[in-house]
Amino acid sequence: MSRYTLRLTGDLLPGATRGDALATLAELLRLTLAEADTALNGKPKKIEGELSREEAEETRLLLVRAGIGCHVEEGAPEPASAASAFDQPLDMDMTSVEIRCPKCDQLQPPGAVCAHCGIVYAKYEQIRKQAVNLHRPAPRASADEFPYHTVNRLLLLVFLGGVGLAIWSHWQKDLFPRPDFYDLSRLEEPRQTPTDARPFQVEANSITYTIDPKFDYALDGVVVSLHDSDSIADIYHFKDWKDFINIRDLCVVWGENVATGAFRDMHYKNSTWTCWISASDREAAGNFAWNQLSNNHVLVHDEILHDAIKSAEIGDQIHLRGKLAGYSHAGGFRRGTSTTRDDTGNGACETIYVEDFEIVRKSNPGWRLINLLSTWISVLAFIGLAIIFFVAPYRPRR
């Protein structure tokens, strides 16, 4: 790699003050004021030592700003000298019997105080040093240093953006679509017909359940609310009742409730065994057909059906087929089923042993994908921020 040296022209640049130039030159090259004054005697002088191109150019700019004529020369490095201009004094004959005051520019015998203006040379040099350091370019990071600060700011921006988008898409994904989104021809009344099926048994989590079929049953509707019976929050099903086959409650509407859009003006919330419905005003309540809604306790022990039912979300149009049935186990748990859509209150929910399940229309797939991606992006960005926090080197504020 080529190395470079600096050569002083020996002259001041137009508009420069000699005192300021002497102080700067003495500071940069570690000279006394007398030696600096000798260097600016109108004759070109080479500064010994080799620098990189960048170091040489930075030094030249500092000298030029102080009004000192200087230029960069390219040359082969000398093995005997690897020090820079900052590490060794100027190698040139600078013997002088007089010095020039850096402030008033008066020649006088060597001393610590100017005989003309009274400044103390050492204090004046200290002030000039502080001024030079203020204007000196900040050291640049090495090329192989990891940009922790930039990456941290980028991750923070991604994290905040991801959280905001996740919150917005979480609200959007559960909004009910307009009626024309659904296949209204399939949203007919539930079909309940007599069954020839006899009571049978299924096993889940080492518990044997007896299923007592009442009717063959088929339901088409729109999911307006749901509750996962096997969630950690619902301790009754697992701990108290040992109920491992009622995996979900699905609150479903159909018929004119969907066709007229009346279901979109109602509010729904599911809890254990119950779907709660309320209206924002009397008109909305009057437009809603209360016998075109059911809360369904869904029973399943088949893994494929389990995954299909768990994939249903609010706003989806679904089709299911199975048996309206009561069920029980030897531990004393027993639950029946409603067989009419006109009853209300306790016991009005349908208990369905599911034999077939299908999602006919998936609502808001775009918003659901955005919510999933933004959530994961937020999580990954947060992990990145945590890693940067622990591995980035400490840098005190300036």
Residues with Cβ within 8 Å of residue 156, at least 6 apart in sequence: 381, 385
pLDDT at 339 over 90: yes
Contact between residue 79 and residue 19 where contact means Cβ atoms under 8 Å apart = no
Cα–Cα distance measured from residue 346 to residue 349, given in angstroms and rounded to the nearest whole number:
8
Max Cα distance, the chain (Å): 126
Cα–Cα distance measured from residue 60 to residue 71, given in angstroms and rounded to the nearest whole number:
7
pLDDT digits (tens, 9 = 90+) for 36-77: 777 777 788 887 777 888 888 888 888 888 888 888 887 655
Cα–Cα distance measured from residue 264 to residue 284, given in angstroms and rounded to the nearest whole number:
9
pLDDT at 163 over 90: yes
- The whole-number pLDDT of residue 218 equals 97
pLDDT digits (tens, 9 = 90+) for 129-145: 666 555 555 555 554 57
Cα–Cα distance measured from residue 376 to residue 166, given in angstroms and rounded to the nearest whole number:
9
Residue 278, Ramachandran bin (φ over 0: left; ψ between -120 and 50: alpha; else beta): beta
Cα–Cα distance measured from residue 207 to residue 211, given in angstroms and rounded to the nearest whole number:
13
100-124 burial code (b ≥16 CB/10 A, e <16): bbbbeeeeeeeeeebeeeebebeeb
Backbone phi, psi, residue 50, to 5°: -110, 140
- First-last CA distance in the chain: 34
pLDDT digits (tens, 9 = 90+) for 244-289: 999 999 999 999 999 999 999 999 999 888 899 999 899 999 999 9
CA-based radius of gyration for the chain: 43
pTM above 0.85, yes or no: no
pLDDT at 86 over 70: no
pLDDT at 166 over 70: yes
Backbone phi, psi, residue 102, to 5°: -70, -10
Q: Which one-letter DSSP state was computed for residue 239?
A: I
Instruction: Tell me the average pLDDT of the chain.
Output: 84
- pLDDT tier at 294, thresholds 50, 70, 90: very high
pLDDT at 154 over 90: yes
Cα–Cα distance measured from residue 141 to residue 4, given in angstroms and rounded to the nearest whole number:
22
